[in-house]
């Protein structure tokens, strides 16, 4: 006679066989494995784990080396303990990109990143080129733990919405660290200040720098950045209330292709004129300029922007002092340039989100003082 556990095993095997038989009739099951691998490359890690549970064939397809190069958990924030458990199962020597997001607690405190997790991460993945730690508290993790021998090949580093201690980047001043880094994303890292910009300026290979909602930054931190980071192409100062006309005077020395200055309310027509002056390097290279909700800009702004006739994307939405006549005139002169204009559009979710982030940072600044 069969035991209870043996009967359960037989029933489970029958159920799996029925599932496999049903899957064979599905259109997607008729695709070859190589096509399935290509489709699954667009899935994040958690969705890929779920896909591997559909059937035995998908389980083996999801184990393909091409699907282990990226570990992405940003769409599913988890505690560090949960991330560690998933990492141990999914990270391999083939993994070159790791993107994780910490889970905020009910009292809005961030997940604490630990040195032990970083050590295990670099031990498992020694060829990382892209690394994202979003919404983490780095108070107990010094920069030295990120600047690891295995991280010398890093090209992209994102610390979005993370809590970085004051002067956290000072270690960059002592040696040629992160020599290949091209992208640094510090979106809403509210403690980043001017002295951090001085340290960041040692990253000579940097091409893309995001400092959106870093409200402690002002024009005083710009000169060092401009002097050292000559390869910089993309710069985002959106939501930085300290960015003014003086900052634009210095930024005009860079060969930027994209400049985002959303919610920089201190900017005036004079600053735009400095950005597009005859001796400006930016004038010749700038393709995208975002001036959304810079309230002090007037029609004279367009007269200065016309000098930079290389623009292909210009956003002046929410600039309430602009007239419709000047907007239409600019469209006629430069039909190839995508011009976004008009008052603040409440239907634009992205603009609403950016404005909410800006006001949140403003409240943080007031409470800090």
Q: Does 254 fall in a domain?
A: no
Q: For 191-209, what is each residue's pLDDT tens digit?
A: 999 999 999 999 999 999 9
In this prediction, residue 1 carries a pLDDT of 47
Place of tokens 């930054």: 217
Q: For 78-94, what is each residue's pLDDT tens digit?
A: 888 888 888 888 888 88
Q: Does 12 fall in a domain?
A: no
Structure tokens at 334: 């430069």
Domain boundary among 232, 260, 295: 232
- Domain span at residue 51? 18-67
> What share of the chain has pLDDT > 90, as a percent?
37
Residue 56's CATH number: 1.20.1280.50
In this prediction, residue 13 carries a pLDDT of 73
Question: For the chain, first and last CA: distance in Å?
Answer: 78
Q: What is the mean pLDDT of residues 205-222?
A: 94
Q: What is the mean pLDDT of residues 313-337?
A: 88
Residue 164's CATH number: 3.80.10.10
Residues 34 and 121 in one domain: no
Instruction: Judge residue 12's burial from the number of C-beta atoms within 10 Å of its C-beta, 0-12 exposed, 13-18 middle, 19 or more buried.
Output: exposed
Residues 36 and 120 in one domain: no
Residues 76 and 63 in one domain: no
In this prediction, residue 344 carries a pLDDT of 41
Domain boundary among 36, 67, 98: 67
Residues 115 and 133 in one domain: yes
Closest by Cα among 295, 230, 303 to 261:
295
Q: What is the mean pLDDT of residues 236-246?
A: 94
How high is the mean pLDDT of the chain? 83
Residues 122 and 206 in one domain: yes
Q: What is the mean pLDDT of residues 315-325?
A: 89
Residues 88 and 216 in one domain: yes
Q: How confident is residue 53, by pLDDT bands cut at 50, 70 and 90?
A: confident
Is the pLDDT at 321 greater than 80? The verdict is yes
What letter would DSSP give residue 333? H
Q: For 149-167, what is each residue's pLDDT tens digit?
A: 666 788 999 999 999 998 8
Instruction: Could you list the beta-strand ranges (E) of the chain.
Output: 70-72, 97-101, 111-112, 130-134, 136-137, 156-158, 183-185, 208-210, 234-236, 258-260, 288-290, 313-315, 338-340
Half-sphere exposure of 186 (CA within 13 A, CB side): 28
pTM for this prediction: 0.82
Alpha carbons 180 and 164: distance in angstroms, whole number: 22
DSSP string, 159-180: -TT-BPPTTGGGGGGSS--STT
Instruction: Judge residue 322's burial from the number of C-beta atoms within 10 Å of its C-beta, 0-12 exposed, 13-18 middle, 19 or more buried.
Output: buried
Structure tokens at 26: 């599905």
Residues 140 and 218 in one domain: yes
Residues 114 and 221 in one domain: yes
Q: Give the number of domains in the chain.
A: 2
Domain boundary among 232, 247, 267: 232
Residues 154 and 54 in one domain: no
Place of tokens 């956003």: 315
Residues 120 and 159 in one domain: yes
């Amino acid at each position: 006679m069969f035991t209870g556990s043996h009967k359960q095993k037989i029933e489970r095997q029958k159920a799996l066989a029925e599932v496999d038989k049903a899957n064979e009739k599905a259109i997607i099951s008729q695709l070859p494995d190589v096509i399935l691998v290509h489709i699954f490359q667009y899935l994040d890690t958690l969705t890929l784990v779920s896909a591997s549970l559909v059937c035995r064939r998908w389980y083996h397809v999801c184990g393909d080396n091409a699907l282990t190069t990226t570990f992405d958990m940003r769409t599913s924030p988890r505690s560090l303990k949960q991330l560690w458990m998933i990492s141990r199962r999914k990270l391999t020597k083939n993994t070159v990109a790791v993107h994780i997001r910490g889970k905020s607690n009910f009292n809005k405190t961030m997940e604490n990143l630990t040195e032990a997790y970083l050590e295990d991460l670099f031990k498992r993945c020694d060829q990382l080129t892209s690394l994202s730690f979003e919404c983490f508290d780095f108070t107990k993790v010094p920069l030295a733990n990120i600047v690891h021998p295995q991280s010398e090949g890093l090209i992209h580093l994102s610390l979005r919405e993370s809590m970085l201690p004051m002067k956290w980047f000072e270690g960059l001043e002592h040696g040629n660290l992160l020599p290949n880094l091209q992208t640094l994303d510090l979106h809403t890292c509210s403690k980043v200040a001017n002295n951090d910009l001085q340290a960041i300026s040692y990253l000579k290979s940097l091409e893309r720098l995001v400092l959106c909602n870093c409200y402690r930054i002002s024009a005083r931190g710009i000169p060092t950045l401009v002097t050292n980071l000559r390869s910089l192409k993309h710069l985002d100062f959106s939501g930085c209330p300290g960015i003014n006309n003086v900052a634009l005077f210095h930024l005009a020395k860079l060969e930027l292709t994209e400049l985002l200055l959303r919610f920089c309310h201190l900017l005036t027509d004079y600053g735009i004129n400095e950005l597009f002056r005859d001796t400006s390097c930016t004038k010749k290279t700038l393709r995208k300029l975002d001036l959304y909700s810079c309230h002090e800009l007037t029609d004279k702004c367009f007269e200065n922007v016309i000098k930079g006739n290389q623009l292909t994307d210009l956003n002046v939405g929410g600039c309430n002092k602009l007239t419709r006549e000047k907007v239409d005139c600019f469209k006629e002169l430069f039909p190839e340039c995508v011009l976004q204009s008009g008052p603040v559009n409440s239907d634009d979710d992205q603009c609403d989100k950016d404005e909410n982030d800006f006001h949140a940072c403003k409240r943080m600044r007031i409470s800090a003082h």
